[in-house]
Amino acid sequence: MAEKKETVKLIGFWASPFRRLVDMALKIQGVSYEYLRGSQEDLPNKSHLLLELNPVHKKVPVFVHNDKILPESHLILEYINQTWKNNPILPQDPYEKARARFWAKFVDEQVGISKTLHRRSFQVIMFLAKEVTGKYFFGGKKIGFLDMIVGSIIPFCLARLWEDMGINMIPEKKFPELNRWIKNLKEKLTP
Ligand SMILES: N[C@@H](CCC(=O)N[C@@H](CS)C(=O)NCC(=O)O)C(=O)O
């Protein structure tokens, strides 16, 4: 009997860093996927499909694997990590895994998209610069969970807004290690 074809679909919004995060994880794992509704969500006019698939938060992204529906980007990443094992996203070591989750939670709480230009962003950048010092990626030699979370929010989202406002929040002189990490990340992943 023919095996049932696996399907991976996403509801997203082009500018959403959370959607981009899931995108990165799927690309790193080499999983093919498509956007539901052909393209992406119109957030001011949410579709019935979005309201049906994520009735609790009514937010994107929503991940649909065969008949399994999952919202919340960090949980989606954990699910991808457990389901496709080509490139582990989370560290195997329990302590390293807990630390990656700790920083991910911190970044998520402090640099929400609604708090775009926040004094706290600078503080977050200082902590992250320290955390990445001496490492190729946050996850070590390979891109991992924290690289995707920080990457989708800072270099691929906020830095562009800051740039448009003429602000350089991550000057090379002050944050050489973080700039090196951004370069490494962009070389590997250009959304
Ligand atoms: N905690 C959620 C946040 C998702 C989120 O805030 N998505 C925004 C787009 S960037 C959204 O759908 N906003 C619509 C709304 O708030 O009504 C996640 O990590 O997936």
Domain architecture of the chain: domains with CATH? 8-83 (3.40.30.10), 94-188 (1.20.1050.10)
Residues with CB under 6 A from ligand 1: 13, 16, 18, 43, 58-61, 72-74, 113
Span 161-176, pLDDT tens digits: 888 888 888 999 999 9
Phi-psi region of 155 (alpha: psi -120 to 50; beta: other; left: phi over 0): alpha
Span 99-154, pLDDT tens digits: 999 999 998 888 755 455 556 788 889 999 999 999 999 988 999 999 999 999 88
Span 69-86, pLDDT tens digits: 999 999 999 999 999 988
> Which residues, including other chains, have CB under 8 Å from residue 78's CB and lie 6 or more apart?
90
Task: List the residue whose alpha carbon is closest to atom 2 of ligand 1.
Answer: 72
